[in-house]
Structure 1
Amino acid sequence: MYDFEIERPGSVADAVKALGQEEAQALSGGQTLIPTLKARLAMPSVLVSLAGIDEMKGVEMRDGALWIGGGTTHATVMREAADAYPGLASLAARIGDPAVRNRGTIGGSLANNDPSACYPAAVLASGATVQTDRREIAADDYFDGMFATALEEGEIVTGVRFPIPQAAHYEKFIQPASRFPLVAAFVARFEGGVRVAITGASNDGVFRWSEAEAALNDRFAAGALDGLTLDGGDMISDLHGSGAYRAHLCGVMTRRAVQAIG
């Protein structure tokens, strides 16, 4: 590690002000940032901890949608979203291990946008809205490639608003060393149509599988996906699995999610 200052604001307004300093960086749950600092892959001079901002925490229904504060931990989502949105709660329950779930936050995950993170799939498949200290961003406009988002410098994810689907399921093929998904699919069925989001597979990060959505809108059954394929050349290829393997898993995970919904 190296020397840096840390500030602990108690409100979003104070956090925004602190992040206006030169080389300041927000610290949420720290599950990605702290290892990055240890490896000196990032060296901010000021860390602005968001952990003490109560207005960014909580899970509650607001105007027919489920609002989750950006500073809410995975463990809290797991417990408190179970009745309103069981598919989302199930996703949160399978993130990392207990230590990660009790420290990591939904806002930190979305701001980082790891290509194998779980929450981006739920946000995209749900058609959720990401709320920041400045604006609201639709899920389809938020994700911008691997580790990239629509967030501007110093912008804070203060909350996420999830429409509640008729049914949803997250099917995750776990990479055992990291607990990240090697590939995972989140399928959400709404009255107006089906949304399918895939994480862990693409070099461009989370994406909607539009062909699968069209097939499932015609007939919501696992068999409707027969014959659908994705190009392995666009997929991540590493020691854990080739691009072709990940492309194959996209179909497998989506079929299993549909079968689980029934």
Structure 2
Amino acid sequence: MIPAGFEYHRPADIASAIALLQQHGDEARVIAGGHSLIPMMKLRMADLSHLVDLQGISGLSGITIGEGSVSIGAMTTQNALITDAALAEAVPILREAALQIADPQVRYLGTVGGNVANGDPGNDMPGLMQCLDATYTLVGPDGERQVAARDFYEAAYFTAREDEEILTAITIPIPAAKGYAYVKQKRKIGDYATAAAAVLLGEGFASVAMTNLADTPVHSDAASAALAEGDVEGCVREALQAIDPQEDMRGPIAFKKHVAGVILRRAITKAQERAA
């Protein structure tokens, strides 16, 4: 598994990175931590002539806790999400999810921006960001714009990000909910989820999202509404109607639906215990 030849660029600022994307078009792609893109390049699933590394650009990492929201730079590593005490207090489900991503070696380099930006349905953060109602900041030739995480994912590896745009930050409203859980079933350490569920639960409020059970993450308004009313089985029923798993090495469709129901019930139970 060796990638095809490519030209490596390490710009010093966002404007230079965008200029490279404009110059090389479809032949160029930005890279953050590399744990999503490099495997695709090795498998020749991504054939690129130009790789634009964001590591040399300052100001793209860091966590800022505001009164009502959290801002996370796209180049912030998963490990930083785990070790930031203020973030763990404000949005503890982020730490819980990050601890379940791959292994420590990956989490030290893998970035939250890279995890959410490329549209891989198996990544953990996209579904979680939909559960949290996060907003992505995209910067391109025409300036900056905001896109809700729930509107960002269009199909597997297809998103609302334009080819010449770069995702620079994520903004998350601090949840009023005290109950939370991110529960994931996977075959082995480091693997994608067979099924994963993110749940937020508060007084008259709930939010539910599922991971790797369709070609995009699945946030279900109907499942969230049912759970907000205390109807656990109604929530599970609505979530299972919203997903669209495909048979692959992780199992047939019926098995994935069964696992999805089990994992979602576990996440709801954990969130209820924490909310009590």
TM-score by length of 1: 0.91
Q: Specify which of 10, 16, 19 is matched with residue 17 of structure 1.
A: 19
Instruction: Count how many residue pairs are aligned between Structure 1 and Structure 2.
Output: 260
Residues 1-262 of structure 1: pairs in structure 2 closer than 5 A = 1-22=3-24, 23-80=27-84, 81-133=87-139, 134-165=144-175, 166-167=177-178, 168-176=180-188, 178-189=190-201, 193-202=205-214, 204-219=215-230, 222=232, 225=235, 230-231=240-241, 234-262=244-272
Shift of 1:190: 5.3
Mapped partners of 1:60, 1:223: distance in 2: 37
TM-score by length of 2: 0.86
Mapped partners of 2:194, 2:266: distance in 1: 15
RMSD, matched Cα? 2.2
Shift of 1:237: 1.2
Mapped partners of 2:103, 2:257: distance in 1: 26
What amino acid maps onto 2:146 in structure 1?
Answer: E
Mapped partners of 2:135, 2:14: distance in 1: 18
Task: Point out where structure 1 has 5 or more consecutive residues left out of the alignment.
Answer: none
Q: Percent identity?
A: 35
Decide whether the 8 Å contact of 1:75 with 1:101 is kept in 2: yes
Secondary structure in structure 2 of the residue aligned to 1:179: coil
Decide whether the 8 Å contact of 2:103 with 2:189 is kept in 1: no
Secondary structure in structure 1 of the residue aligned to 2:247: coil
Secondary structure in structure 2 of the residue aligned to 1:119: helix
Measured against aligned partners, the alpha-carbon deviations of 1:46-90 in whole angstroms (never above 9, x if no partner) come to: 211011222110111135211111111111111113222111111
Mapped partners of 1:231, 1:237: distance in 2: 17
Secondary structure in structure 1 of the residue aligned to 2:90: coil
Shift of 1:216: 0.8
Mapped partners of 1:62, 1:169: distance in 2: 23
Mapped partners of 1:192, 1:157: distance in 2: 33
Decide whether the 8 Å contact of 1:6 with 1:48 is kept in 2: yes
Decide whether the 8 Å contact of 2:8 with 2:53 is kept in 1: yes
Mapped partners of 1:185, 1:224: distance in 2: 16
Task: Point out where structure 2 has 5 or more consecutive residues left out of the alignment.
Answer: none
Secondary structure in structure 1 of the residue aligned to 2:154: coil
Mapped partners of 2:243, 2:59: distance in 1: 43
Seen in structure 2, the aligned counterparts of structure 1 residues 192 and 50 have a Cα distance that, compared at 3 Å, is farther
Mapped partners of 2:8, 2:221: distance in 1: 44
Deviates more, 1:169-178 or 1:83-92: 169-178
Shift of 1:138: 1.0
Runs of 4 or more off by more than 6 Å in structure 1?
none
